[in-house]
Amino acid sequence: MNRSVVFLACLGLGLLTSSLAAQAALAGPGSVSLPTIDTTALSGGGAQNLGVQYLPATNTIFVTGRGNTLGGAFVGTPPHSIYEFDITGTTLLNTYQQTTTSPLWGHRDGATDGVLLFFGDEGGISCFNPATGMYETNPTILTAGGPVIPATSYPLPLTVPLGTNRALAYNPAGNGGAGSFWSADFGSALLEIDLDGVVINNFPNASAWSLYGLAYDPIRNMLWGSTSPNAGNLVEIDPATGTETGNSFTREVGGAQGGLSFMQRPGGPFSELLVLTQGAPDAIVAQRLDLLDPAPGATGNGYYEEAELVSGTGPVGVVTNSLLKTFIDGDFLNWGFGARVGGSGVAAGPYLVLSALGPDAATVASTFGVPELVVPNNFSNPASVGLTYTLEDGFGFGGLLAPNALLGPGIGAIGGPPVSFGPWPAGTFLGGEAIRLQAYFVDFGIAYGGANPGYSTNTIDFVYVAPSCTSEGFEGLPAGLGNYPAGWVNGPGGTVGDEWRPGGPGGTPSGSTGASGPNTGSGYMFIETSGAANTWPKTFVMDSAPLAACPINPMLSFSYHMLGGTMGTLTIEDLDAMGNPISTLFTISGAQGANWVTMTVPVTPDANGNVTLRITGMTPAANNSWQSDICIDDFAMQ
């Protein structure tokens, strides 16, 4: 039976069961991430709220409203108000009186540089400083290029072709790093305005939007608009073109569109949109903007999916965050996926999308449907977390570069254990071929690219490692200098009298440095850096015999041990036919702890399919750097 038939037989027998067992019931993008806040009740019972803005400096929420309660009861006449709520939206912290030339309604939407607040209305753009409770006419505004004091005093005069600066956002990196505002008035053009009120971009309304709120997403460098009558009432807008990207959410609270704000709470695992809707009552709600969610107690790197490699002989290891994820014959892949509540508030069962990558891809998997066309990485991932999504080539870019199998909706119960895929029978894959896993949620409250309802996660690739094509474990070598495996030799450039030597089954001779024994088996190689020839630095060079590489995606696997207070540097290079270094495959310096470390790196075979290595150990240049015994073991071409 050939490789592809074996694989498909596994599918048919259910050994590759699609189980997306839940880890937690967590909401996806577009879902409510902060409960609905009745701003009408909190601001006096009759206030007509218009704009909203989250302020990072205070971690509080500001809402603009028509009228005031200065006399105890609400009246819809000036002076209008600015309300400050705590981050939970349960407590009114402060009420400020507006100073505005808009007598009927007052300020509309808000924006911020992180410290100051800006509000738009018929009178232009005003600047309010919550730290003093006062308006500023000559503010110092934070931009990507540094603090700026605009030449024009605030409120910015109404020199823009808008009846009202109704929707407002601020981009500190706009205008070449000098900062810029974005503004619109219902169905008007979308304007970019510099800090002196001069229009620098004017984009016609090509999407029939009706904008009341704008927000700037600093992670994706995109605008979001609260609009109607678009099918998705929260739409992403590309500031480079002034057009919608096709990514959208449905507003989770009904009513007319109002103000909009980006929000990244301190330590928060994801970014959000604060959405104000004008209704009875007026309300604000936070909707989740990105995919990252390090759930409490979850394993892995905090992405939605959690994948484990379960080996019959090795320890269970969560490899989601590993640079190289591999499996071998007999291994299982465990795939766990939490059932998420969709943007529509309904728990959505995810679909698992499986791709087979490699020469056998066309026959190992087959194509089933729409989810393969969904492009990952559509929504933001907080830069502060330091993680990124994988933008894949097999899903929607340049056609389908690898067929995909859609393995049905998840059948795992919420909170249930993950279910295994495998084991992989010997001969199913060639070395270097891979299984790519990705999950996709159908959610009609979200649109990606304007056509695909729902969202997809980042992917995880597991690369099959065939039995070693060539291996060297340094077993059975007699003690002493120059006792190398067959074909291995002392390389050029080493210090006279200093050579790699066999070790094992015990540790190296010197104390406080070197290994206590081999990584596996009974032998290893090491450098002994103490001795009579106390010339520093000491250099030890060993060249391997030509090692036959695997034919597909060839890799070199090896283990090293570097313990010592004056630890030096290990370098591994590949050589050409004349013995000259071609490239550095691996190098590391300094103490790496008391345990063996296994590393896998890609290699490029020569015309004969071989790789020749040069392994160099070097002490620091300082005198008496004798605690620098480097050990190596288990070299294998995979």
Query: Do residue 451 and residue 481 come from a single domain?
Result: no
Query: Do residue 15 and residue 37 come from a single domain?
Result: no
Residue 72 neighbours by CB under 8 Å, 6+ apart:
none
- The H or E element containing residue 396 is none
The last residue of one of the domains, among 268, 288, 308, is 288
Q: How confident is the model at residue 269 (pLDDT cuts 50, 70, 90)?
A: low
- pLDDT above 80: residue 623: no
Residue 386 neighbours by CB under 8 Å, 6+ apart:
none
What range does the domain containing 7 cover? 3-27+297-464
- Work out the average pLDDT over 191-216: 92
pLDDT at position 4 is 21
Cα–chain center distance at 184: 32
Query: Do residue 377 and residue 502 come from a single domain?
Result: no
Query: Do residue 554 and residue 510 come from a single domain?
Result: yes
Instruction: For 228-257, write each residue's pLDDT tens digit.
Output: 754 447 888 999 999 988 778 888 787 888
Count CB atoms within 10 A of the CB of residue 102: 22
Percent of residues in the chain assigned helix, strand, coil, to nearest 5: 5, 40, 60
Q: Are 236 and 222 in contact (CB under 8 A)?
A: yes
Instruction: For 371-380, write each residue's pLDDT tens digit.
Output: 222 233 333 2
Query: Do residue 332 and residue 441 come from a single domain?
Result: yes
In eight-state DSSP terms, residue 229 is S
Task: List beta partners, residue 100.
Answer: none
Query: Do residue 252 and residue 349 come from a single domain?
Result: no
Kindly report whether the global pTM for this prediction surpasses the value 0.85. no
Task: State the chain's mean pLDDT as an integer.
Answer: 74
Instruction: For 507-524, write each residue's pLDDT tens digit.
Output: 998 888 999 999 989 999
The last residue of one of the domains, among 243, 266, 288, is 288
pLDDT at position 28 is 60
Report the first-to-last Cα separation within the chain, whole angstroms: 24
What is the rounded CA–CA span in Å between residue 74 and residue 41?
11
- Work out the average pLDDT over 13-21: 21
Query: Do residue 280 and residue 314 come from a single domain?
Result: no
Query: Do residue 97 and residue 207 come from a single domain?
Result: yes
- Work out the average pLDDT over 48-63: 95
Q: Which residue would you say has higher pLDDT here, 140 or 534?
A: 140
Residue 612 neighbours by CB under 8 Å, 6+ apart:
543, 544, 545, 546, 547, 574, 575, 579, 606
Is the previous residue joined to 403 through a cis bond, with omega within 30 degrees of 0? no
* 638 CB-side CA count, 13 A: 22
Q: How confident is the model at residue 600 (pLDDT cuts 50, 70, 90)?
A: confident
Q: Which CATH number do you get for residue 90?
A: 2.120.10
- Work out the average pLDDT over 317-332: 50
- pLDDT above 90: residue 94: yes
The last residue of one of the domains, among 421, 445, 464, is 464
Domain count, the chain: 3
What is the rounded CA–CA span in Å between residue 184 and residue 188?
6
Query: Do residue 121 and residue 215 come from a single domain?
Result: yes
- pLDDT above 70: residue 555: yes
Q: State the maximum Cα–Cα separation within the chain, in Å, rounded to a whole number.
A: 97
Q: Can you read off the two tokens belonging to residue 160?
A: 């823009």
- pLDDT above 80: residue 382: no
- Work out the average pLDDT over 368-396: 27
Query: Do residue 486 and residue 382 come from a single domain?
Result: no
Residue 325 neighbours by CB under 8 Å, 6+ apart:
307, 309, 319, 460, 461, 462, 463
Query: Do residue 234 and residue 381 come from a single domain?
Result: no
What is the rounded CA–CA span in Å between residue 478 and residue 157?
88
pLDDT at position 357 is 62
Query: Do residue 283 and residue 325 come from a single domain?
Result: no
